[in-house]
Amino acid sequence: MTAVRTAHERDLPAVEDLHVAAIEAFGPEAYDDEAVEAWAATDDQPAERYDLSAGHWVVAERGGDVAAFGHLDPDGAEVVAVYVHPDHARAGVGTAVLAALEGYARGVGIDELTLTASRNAVGFYERAGYERRGSVVHETSTGIELDCEEMGKDL
């Protein structure tokens, strides 16, 4: 069973680990090794990289593990991140996290969300009702550019 809750500081090590694991597992479906390595690069500052005071953050727990996390920027009406640990992939965990973020957005009066999807995640978001709006480039913290897709959904 999956339980989605607000993220806490104590979750940050697990969030960082699953973030990197998800990129390393699923990134090669759409990007070359150099791009995946740059995307997965960490800066040893998880409290700054994962600033829980910036927006709304949730984690999904499954079998006692932090299985996924999500981040919503309500001011920008943007889903910033949804990542699932590979050990919990394709079990509805990402869908539960996205639904929690969308529910929060509706609760604060947001009627449309946008996001920037990595190429390997476009299908996931399309199945959740998001529509492609055009190609964009995301620059990693190490300066490597990733081709992505801007997407949106009316809530």
Q: Which residues 6+ apart lie within 8 Å of 107 measured at CB?
A: none
> What is residue 89's three-state secondary structure?
coil
Digit-coded pLDDT (tens) for 65-99:
999 999 999 999 999 999 999 999 999 999 999 99
The confidence score (pLDDT) of residue 99 equals 98
Digit-coded pLDDT (tens) for 4-39:
999 999 999 999 999 999 999 999 999 999 999 989
Secondary structure letter of residue 129 according to DSSP? T
Element (H or E) spanning 49, and its range? helix 46-49
Q: How confident is the model at residue 144 (pLDDT cuts 50, 70, 90)?
A: confident
The confidence score (pLDDT) of residue 49 equals 77
Q: Residue 95: how many CB atoms within 10 A of its CB?
A: 18
Angle at 30 between CA 25 and CA 36, to 5 degrees: 55
Cα 18 from Cα 71, distance rounded (Å): 14
The single residue listed with the structure tokens 């995307």 is 39
The counts of H helices and E strands in the chain are 5, 7
The confidence score (pLDDT) of residue 43 equals 64
**pTM metric for this prediction:** 0.94
CATH value of 2-110 in 3.40.50.1820, 3.40.50.300, 3.30.565.10, 3.40.630.30: 3.40.630.30
Q: How confident is the model at residue 62 (pLDDT cuts 50, 70, 90)?
A: very high
The confidence score (pLDDT) of residue 21 equals 97
How much is the mean pLDDT over the chain?
93
User: Average of pLDDT values for 60-68?
Assistant: 94
